[in-house]
Amino acid sequence: MDSIGPVGLQQGEGAPCYPQESLPCPSDSSELVQECLRQFKVTGAQLRQIQASLLSSMEQALGGQVSPASAVRMLPTYVGSTPHGTEQGDFLVLELGATGASLRILWVTLTGTEGHRMEPRSQEFVIPQEVMLGPGQQLFDFAACCLSEFLDALPVGNQNLQLGFSFSFPCHQTGLDRSTLISWTKGFRCSGVEGQDVVQLLRDAIQRQGAYSIDVVAVVNDTVGTMMGCEPGVGPCEVGLVVDTGTNACYMEEARHVAVLDEDRGRVCVSVEWGSFGDDGALGPVLTTFDCALDRESLNPGAQRFEKMIGGLYLGELVRLVLAHLAQCGVLFGGCTSPALLSRGSILLEHVAEMEDPSAGAARVHTILQDLGLSPGASDVELVQHVCAAVCMRAAQLCAAALAAVLSHLQHSREQQTLQITVATGGRVFERQPRFLSILQETVMFLAPECDVSFIPSLDGGGRGVAMVTAVAARLAAHRRLLEETLAPFRLNREQLAAVQAQMREAMTKGLRGEASSLRMLPTYVRATPDGSERGDFLALDLGGTNFRVLLVRVATGGVQITNQVYSIPECVAQGSGQQLFDHIVDCIVDFQQKQGLSGQSLPLGFTFSFPCRQLGLDQGILLNWTKGFNASDCEGQDVVCLLREAIGRRKAVELNVVAIVNDTVGTMMSCGYEDPHCEVGLIVGTGTNACYMEELRNVAGVAGDSGHMCINMEWGAFGDDGSLGVLSTCFDARVDQASINPGKQRFEKMISGMYLGEIVRHILLHLTSLGVLFRGQQTQCLQTRDIFKTKFLSEIESDSLALRQVRAILEDLGLPLTSDDALMVLEVCQAVSQRAAQLCGAGVAAVVEKIRENRGLEELTVSVGVDGTLYKLHPHFSSLVAATVRELAPRCVVTFLQSEDGSGKGAALVTAVACRLAQTACV
């Protein structure tokens, strides 16, 4: 049995490569001929070793291991599926690099119906040698020029043309239309192209040419075009094999096996780039002295060693080197050479193909040799035929070993006993040398007997496949444009944000004066932030955010100690009768008191009530209207403290001393103010959004006194309810507003806060689905469900530590079956919506801090903002976007954001403590 082992470890690695001139000529001529031909023989064992070594090289490269043994590159393309057969339209295809020194342009029409095919129009242009070796710009200008010439002859008019670029060199692709050349191979060596995006270079050249409007939508390797352009046989065609000037293959790989991709589902087409196999020395045992000589004289010595044994660019040259050697040793042509025989490139692939073909007959071989300036005898002709056959046979066998490596990899990774697969073949070697395919087939059968392979020639030399990929790329590009159009209104520029700041500022002034304004600017009767001398035990309630809480707050010399319990408020209670709601609140307090052993004590109570209230004193607050999800009846227009006291009265057993009612913004400001005396602003970005700040009392109409300060609850959630935000409001905002329990109200809040962002995203996703951009255009029941897309998903999806596949998992849990393109788009939608929210919030904060600075006539203001709210705290980028916007719009204010750690209940207790302290001082 043949042993299988890595070729690289075999004895003979790096076979000596001595210069051609010094090749020894043995005295026995028949021995010399045998020796030459023997060098080209590859044994079954050697083929198996190549197969095994290539397989392990492929697997290492897939696993992301960059080791010297990984000589194949395994480059992922952005092709994720084989054709549907529904692709349609007219496409231009430009092929560069597959077929030596020629460039081919095709006009391909895809009909969208399988079996119905239209012949493409095509034209070939010869690329002059100096262009292949000159500056890159010259090559791309040449291509653009050929395109114009081709199109001039077609009646295409001025339409916008979509082009697929078949570029057959190793490239790192980063998108369907982005591809960086790693290195030139085959006969090309243009300067300034390696490391550049070849799509951009082509676009630039087309632009310079200026004749046609051509959009380069996709770039593909020739192997990919070959695979995609094959009419499916028994099963889908999942391997593309090219043997033309060079050689390579691509195949459909499981995405999870490709380490460089952040993807665990589906398949992706990978270009093996096996031409470079052996560049690390692994081919040592099978390299002949002629291979070494050929490599040394090539444009890229040491590179593409495997390709140089198989590719059509090299077969003729190998034959020439052998014939020249034999002639020089006197075995051929009577020991005579000719200048042509000694010149590089004088024997081409087509010569070898003809000379090797037994049916062509001796006469043809004779003519070819004569054209090379040689005078062959009858035995010479026969020997030359042997040489050609040996070189070609080896090429086909080596190619088979490589293909067998790909097939066995597929068979193992798909865990199939027998792999049934279709391989699309393309390239001139197949066309010109019929024997190549039969040797290849035979050898593959020998090396991979468990694979049942059908070989099908690709249509239109791969041009059709390139058009297929282009069609898909064009569809994706159209989707991207629709996504951008949809999200454009969410992307606010500096001017728009400055306008929001200015409008907010104006509305603040009007609201403070008591003039018509969407900002109510409610006095809170909080005149001072804590001074640290407050002491005592207090009860606090915290109603209106995500959680309803009852707290015991102990303010002592050593600091503040808090014990709290969260109670739920069922939606039926939040939206039931007022009496029911307040009875429920008192029940919770009683429960808390019992659990804490506080029953019977009448501690002072601070009530954080996070809704707009007109306060007439610290312990009086008339609810103006419910916001967020609350809508309990018979409360609006009532004093909330009275409603609470009445409920306490109904529950005869308890006594409570309600001292203060506090908005959550105020509670947050006070809570942070206990630690930092600069904290003069409170900000909430949670279920709802709002801010409060310390205003000069003289600016506050309706409250007596001209000196000192008072905290103003802005109720900025209602900003824009007079229509002033109209220009910024999108159709999605309008839909969210219309479906809410308070249409037309809290318009600013509905663009910013947690209760609404998920809904905005959901409406955008519905729209994109209806455009066919997302979820293949299929509407799901799930996405039609209100509030299914929670705002916390935005925080999760936008988290930097999440890979795209985790984003997909979150969405799939929601019942949204999506591709990675979909996942990326959903992420972009979330980003646009939360970015706008943070920027609008920042514009509001900028208006507030600027007002404080101007009130005080300061050149520069240093101020802290106490912040709370789940969106602000949980979202990965919200806080930094708010801060960045404030820096931009209020450059003369140095603003520090402090996150409240204890919620606004602590603040309510502190307000109560200050009130108690002041009351005691007054009594003394």
What residues are labeled active site? 549, 610, 664
Where do the DSSP E strands lie in 829-914? 861-868, 893-899
Minimum CB distance to ligand BG6, residue 895 (Å): 20
Task: Pick one of ligand GLC, ligand BG6, none as the site partner of residue 905 (Cβ within 5 to 8 A by kind).
Answer: ligand BG6
Residue 288 binds ligand GLC, judged by CB under 6 A: no
Per-residue binding letters, 578-617, with ligand BG6 (x by CB under 6 A) = ------------------------------x-x-------
Q: Does residue 176 sit in helix, strand or coil?
A: coil
Using an 8 Å Cβ cutoff, are 620 and 638 in contact? no
Is residue 7 within 8 A of residue 53, CB to CB? The reply is: yes
From 905, 909, 911, 914, residue interacting with ligand BG6 (rule: CB under 6 A): 905
Indicate the residue among 246 and 465 with the shorter CB distance to ligand GLC: 246
User: Could you tell which of ligand BG6, ligand GLC, none binds residue 248, using a CB distance below 5 to 8 A set by kind?
Assistant: ligand GLC
Residue type, 244: D
Cβ proximity to ligand GLC, 168 vs 864, nearer residue: 168
CB of 706 to ligand BG6, least distance (A): 32
Which helix (H) or strand (E) segment is 92 a member of?
A: strand 88-96
Q: How far is CA 499 from the centre of its chain?
A: 33
Provide the token pair at 142. Answer: 């040449």
| Partner from ligand BG6, ligand GLC, none contacting 717, C-beta within 5 to 8 A by type | ligand GLC
Residue keyed to tokens 């969210």: 736
Q: Kind and range of the H or E element at 693?
A: strand 689-696
Least separation in angstroms between residue 901's CB and ligand BG6 is: 9
**Is residue 684 at the binding interface for ligand BG6, with CB under 6 A as the rule?**
yes
Among 284, 545, 606, 842, binds ligand GLC (CB under 6 A): 545
185 binds ligand GLC (CB under 6 A): yes
Any bridge partners for residue 75, and if so which? 271
Residues 459, 237: Cα–Cα separation, whole Å: 12
Residue of 870, 879, 885, 912 that binds ligand BG6 (CB under 6 A):
870
Residue 185 near which of ligand GLC, ligand BG6, none (CB within 5-8 Å, type-dependent): ligand GLC
Among ligand GLC, ligand BG6, none, partner that 721 touches (CB below 5 to 8 angstroms by kind): none
3-state SS, residue 682: strand
550 binds ligand GLC (CB under 6 A): no
Q: Rule CB under 6 A: say whether 221 interacts with ligand GLC.
A: yes
Any contact of residue 711 with ligand GLC (CB under 6 A)?
no
**Hey, which residues does 105 pair with through a beta bridge?**
94, 123
Q: Which of 46, 663, 699, 835 binds ligand GLC (CB under 6 A)?
A: 663
The C-alpha atoms of residue 781 and residue 278 are separated, in whole angstroms, by 55
> Which run of H or E residues covers position 397?
helix 378-413
Q: Which is nearer to ligand GLC, 198 or 500 (CB)?
A: 198
Q: How far is the CB of 664 from ligand BG6 (least distance, A)?
A: 4
| H-assigned helices in 414-532 | 428-432, 434-447, 463-487, 494-513
From the number of C-beta atoms within 10 Å of its C-beta (0-12, 13-18, 19+), residue 155 rates as exposed
903 lies in the binding site for ligand BG6 (CB under 6 A): yes
Among 57, 411, 610, 791, binds ligand GLC (CB under 6 A): 610
Q: Are 469 and 228 in contact (CB under 8 A)?
A: yes
Check binding of 690 to ligand GLC (CB under 6 A).
Answer: yes
Query: Cα-flanking dihedrals φ and ψ of residue 629, to 5°?
Result: -90, 5
Only one of the segments 94-102, 326-334, 710-718, 867-875 lies at the binding site for ligand BG6 (rule: CB under 6 A); that segment is 867-875
769 or 904: whose CB is closer to ligand BG6?
A: 904
Stretch that binds ligand BG6, among 569-577, 692-700, 709-717, 897-905 (CB under 6 A): 897-905
Binding mask 715-754 for ligand GLC (x = CB under 6 A): x-x-------------------------------x-----
Cα 828 to Cα 486, 490, 752, 820, distances in angstroms? 11, 11, 17, 12
Choice between 53 and 746, CB closer to ligand BG6: 746
CB of 690 to ligand BG6, least distance (A): 9
Nearer to ligand BG6, 463 or 545 (CB): 545
Q: How far is the CB of 668 from ligand BG6 (least distance, A)?
A: 7
Residue 665 touches ligand GLC, criterion: CB under 6 A: yes
Beta partners for 565? 550
Contacts to ligand GLC from residues 92-131, by CB under 6 A? 98
Compute the distance between CA of residue 452 and CA of residue 443 in angstroms, rounded to an integer.
13
Residue closer to ligand BG6 (CB basis): 668 or 835: 668
Q: What is the pairing mode between strands 88-96 and 161-167?
A: parallel
Q: Considering only 275-283, 598-606, 821-829, 868-876, which stretch makes contact with ligand BG6 by CB under 6 A?
A: 868-876
Which helix or strand (DSSP H or E) is residue 108 part of? Answer: strand 102-111
Helices (H), 654-771: 664-673, 731-739, 747-752, 754-770
Q: How many CA atoms lie within 13 A of 107 on its CB side?
A: 14
Residue 222 as a binder of ligand GLC (CB under 6 A): the answer is yes
Interface mask (CB under 6 A) for ligand BG6, residues 751-780, using x and -?
---x--------------------------
Q: Specify the DSSP class assigned to residue 280.
A: T
Q: Please say whether the beta carbons of 458 and 230 come within 8 A.
A: yes
Q: Which does 168 bind (CB under 5 to 8 A by kind): ligand BG6, ligand GLC, none?
A: ligand GLC
Q: Give the count of beta carbons closer than 10 Å to the beta carbon of residue 673.
A: 27
Distances (CA, A) of 269 to 232, 825, 827: 16, 22, 25
166 binds ligand GLC (CB under 6 A): no
d(Cα 848, Cα 140) in Å, to the nearest integer?
57
Whether the Cβ atoms of residue 352 and residue 368 lie closer than 8 Å to each other: no
Pick one of ligand BG6, ligand GLC, none as the site partner of residue 903 (Cβ within 5 to 8 A by kind): ligand BG6
879 binds ligand BG6 (CB under 6 A): no
Our CB check for ligand BG6 shows the closer of 314 and 611 to be: 611
Residue 495 C-beta: closest distance to ligand GLC, Å: 27
Binding-site member from 246, 465, 545, 717 for ligand BG6 (CB under 6 A)? 545
Alpha-carbon distance of 43 to 34, in angstroms, equals: 16
Does 684 sit near ligand GLC (CB under 6 A)?
yes
- Which partner in ligand GLC, ligand BG6, none is near 608 (CB below 5 to 8 A by kind)? ligand BG6
CB 327, CB 372: distance < 8 Å: no
- Judged by CB under 6 A, the residue of 83, 688, 754, 758 near ligand GLC is 688
147 or 670: whose CB is closer to ligand BG6?
Answer: 670
Distance CA 831, CA 833 (A): 6
The helix/strand/coil state of 477 is helix
How many residues in total does the chain contain?
924
Helix 362-371 and helix 378-413, axial crossing angle in degrees, nearest 10 = 100
Binding of residue 664 to ligand GLC (CB under 6 A): yes
* Gap between the Cα atoms of 822 and 780, Å rounded: 14
Query: Residue 822, Cα to own-chain centre: how many angstroms?
Result: 10
Contact 216, 179 (CB under 8 A): no
Over the Cα atoms of the chain, what is R_g?
39
Stretch that binds ligand GLC, among 165-173, 481-489, 551-559, 771-779 (CB under 6 A): 165-173
* Residues near ligand GLC (CB under 6 A): 98, 168-170, 185-186, 221-223, 242, 244, 246-248, 273, 275, 307, 544-545, 610-612, 627-628, 663-665, 684, 686-690, 715, 717, 749
Q: Write out the residues near ligand BG6 by the rule CB under 6 A.
A: 542, 544-546, 608, 610, 664, 684, 686-687, 754, 868-870, 903-905
